[in-house]
Structure 1
């Protein structure tokens, strides 16, 4: 069955099949990445490395992925988004397979870097959804994709702990590899090539300056909690990154075919969404770190739950996200993305404000209820932001716009754990546990107050920031940005 919207024809049967691919994608990635977290102590022990070294298993993936999302997003605009999506998913699949057979720590870092090249799958998937799906389906599908991130996390954390405990950390990858291969062949068979191509030459100088700007900053943020935020190494890395960022901006302003078109990413809605996503990822990361400690610290400092139990206790939040996300996508064309973004940010902010004051005095189920409430708000806001972005840029540059958005998201995700670790290392007490030779540092109530309170302030700021969004849909109409202007699509 085909439908026509303002001269563009869309195949509904294809859209339904493609939805299965793009919705299962975050389940695969979250399964793979979240399962790694419980395995890190085992990896450290097997390769006889220190905690700082083992953190590079996460860092190298993020470093490579941040840059690849921007570059492959641009290549998707130039040569076809399906082609680059398969390239990215191919790298991800090869990396997952190789990880499980790593004979040394250096090999594991190399294969994780290969896997990081695949991080571009998400911006490319968002672009394909925007191009090939009828406009009224886009918010619903984006909502399902967002919901699956939370569901994948809840599934993967307890399952990863169980697999690592019973079969070893390598089986976290061995078990994921068949699903990655299946996803690759599904995408190859089902997805269509994008209808918009924007040919040109790759901006290699821009890519070089992007690496210069991004890598030192992410390394500095990752290492700062261990070496110190004012350590010479940290300050030098930040300085190098700032120089790279300035050179990137100067170059992209004069480049004929810029890697990151500044006029696109700095226009009103994309700029708001990029800034918003970065701060949202920062707030989520801080909140998640605090949640983990509260769930797993022994009473009276927490609830004393295992990783498996902690994952199961997050199931209500995942369930609510799974309901709210597609429902919000369905209602968004009528209500508008802007009101939902503001509402979601205010819900998250109010819940986090309550947690900042009462987190350590709530009962277990009161705490679960509050993080579920916060998760509902974050879901509403995130879905609204991604839809504002994809309907605010021309289709021919959708890949680079969503790639740049991933870059900002990764920056926020990197800063969150680093700041949370620093806060917890600042506000702590030493507790002597029988059988443990050294006292443990346990975060105090003040640490949670700072983490949840800061996150609450961030989401309040995002609610205010969302007031500046130019609405892209309302009253059953979606406003699409075209190459030469704008058009409205009736979906009611």
Structure 2
């Protein structure tokens, strides 16, 4: 490791400037995750695709992000987090440009694969914060970035309708393109390069194995609603995914340069936080994918409000506001009550919101109430979770640990969307419109999953020391000649020993 996390010297950019740049990049990345979801029917018509094939616009992105997120996190730990952060932003920019000018579905899918490379933005942002920020500012900054990632995803649902109505669906990619390009330039100019790196190399065998089981698993769950959960294709893919995953774990355990350190993954704080991420990912992505569809169903079917894309987005606005507001205050709550308790309570609150959707959806105010409750719960949970992961690992493993946590949340989202689709479409009419009972059962399932997430959060061990310093005691930054503990050893006057 080159050096330790010490105090911020006068020769480096202000951490506040770095924080603004990171926020800009994370918001753009999060928007690209969700802007497309409500307007898939529009893209289907414009690119002359079918309902089955257009889902690859989402699936291709999830597959690519699942593969490249841990790889970029590891490369950032090895070669410099700023460098790989810029690479991720360039990938988002190039992919957005190609998507904006795509004239066919295959080109659009290639564009979304390129965008998926940018999935490394979130873990790299966490790593930069840990490297560059004063210790007593780290937890709150990580919490805000985590909240912004969830808020951006919700904001994409809200903004998609107005953008398509006023401009065209191509601006769903052009607007994030502008933001990511500006963020890449600002990062290169204003963000300092990491002082914390670790030597090593990418084990491409384990990277290939990781890619193999993720592709097989996500392909199976994403296509299961159309192929059938008991179809031979799905069963074979699941079997292949399990087999390759076992080989991958063995290879990673024996590797001198593991992409993901299996010893790190066995740390109780890490595996429990990852379990919670998986379960909450099921809830968040499934709700984003199916609640607009529910709201847009004509009331003549016995439920729904016949809302437009824009109107359904506005009905989800309380969710976005709740995630952002609570995410801003999570670090203070964690300091007082503990991150694990905030995580558990957040999951329970989200569960209540999903139960409200399932059992009370006759009036619009029911939906506003439910989405506000879900937003509060997810805002608390997703802002508390990264602190637990980052606190549990050495500084040089921040990128890969937080990257895997974000990756597992994405996998959870894919699983949740596939299972939700199977539940919602049971007994659908000949026109393809689901029955009300399908949505009721689906949201009861999501609420139950969030209850399980709350119980899983209780398994997280209490962090030693202050909750706001990621496992170290809260104290002012050391003056020259004083001692302070860092991830890499003792700092004397700002130099690691």
1:55 Cα offset (Å): 1.1
1:220-242 CA distances to partner (integer Å, 9 max, x unpaired)?
11111101111111111111111
Per the TM alignment, residue 29 of structure 1 is displaced from its structure 2 partner at its CA by 2.1
2:185 aligns with: 185
2-structure distance, mates of 1:257, 1:320: 41
Q: Name 2:162's counterpart in structure 1.
A: 162
CA shift in 2, pair 1:375/1:155, >3 Å: closer
CA gap 1:236/1:405 in 2 versus in 1, 3 angstroms:
same
Counterparts of 1:28 and 1:7, CA distance in 2: 28
Query: What's the counterpart of residue 449 of structure 2?
Result: 458
Q: How many residues align?
A: 471
Q: CA deviation at 1:11?
A: 5.4
User: Greater strand share, 1 or 2?
Assistant: 1
Q: How does 1:261-340 map to 2 (within 5 A)?
A: 261-299=261-299, 300-340=302-342
Displacement of 1:308: 0.5
Q: Provide the secondary structure at the position in 2 that maps to 1:441.
A: coil
CA drift of 1:291 comes to: 2.1
Distance 1:151 1:273, change over 3 A: closer
Runs of 5+ unmatched residues, structure 1: 1-5, 431-438, 488-492
Shift in CA distance, 406/328, structure 1 to aligned 2, threshold 3 Å: closer
User: 1:154–1:314: 8 Å Cα contact kept in structure 2?
Assistant: yes
Change (3 A) 1:450 1:415: same
Q: Distance in 1 between matches of 2:64 and 2:215?
A: 8
Give distance in 2, aligned partners of 1:221 and 1:55. Answer: 12
Q: Tell me by how many angstroms 1:244 deviates.
A: 0.9
2:433 matched residue in structure 1: 442
Query: Aligned to 1:443, what secondary structure does the other structure show?
Result: coil
User: Residues of 2 paired with 1:245 and 1:209: CA distance?
Assistant: 7
> Structure 1 residues 25-34 or 452-461, which shifts more?
25-34
Runs of 4+ off more than 6 Å: 484-487
Q: What is the match of residue 434 of structure 1?
A: none
Asked if structure 2 preserves the Cα contact closer than 8 Å seen for 1:334 and 1:474, the reply is: no
> Any idea what the Cα deviations from partners look like across 1:134-185, whole Å, max 9, x if unmatched?
2322222223223323443454334322333444322322333222211111
Question: Residues of 2 paired with 1:7 and 1:216: CA distance?
Answer: 39
CA deviations over 1:389-433 (Å, ceiling 9, x no partner): 1111000111111121122111101111111111111143x3xxx
Q: Structure 1 residues 468 and 35 mapped into 2: Cα distance closer, same or farther (>3 Å)?
A: closer
Alignment map for 1:33-432 (pairs within 5 Å)? 33-299=33-299, 300-356=302-358, 358-361=359-362, 363-428=363-428, 430=429
State how far apart, in whole Å, the 2-side matches of 1:70 and 1:352 are: 31
Q: Distance in 2 between matches of 1:464 and 1:445?
A: 29
Query: Residue by residue, what CA displacement relative to the aligned partner does 1:198-256 show, whole Å, maximum 9, x if unpaired?
Result: 11121111111111111111111111110111111111111111111011011111111
Question: Counterparts of 1:53 and 1:234 in 2: how far apart (Å)?
Answer: 17
- List alignment gaps of at least 5 residues for structure 2: 473-484, 492-497
Distance 1:424 1:306 in 2: 20
Aligned-residue RMSD, C-alpha: 2.4
Give the TM-score of the pair, scaled to structure 2: 0.89
Aligned equivalents of 1:32, 1:201: Cα separation in 2? 30
- Give the deviation of 1:186 after TM superposition: 1.2
Distance 1:417 1:278 in 2: 12
Counterparts of 1:202 and 1:7, CA distance in 2: 24
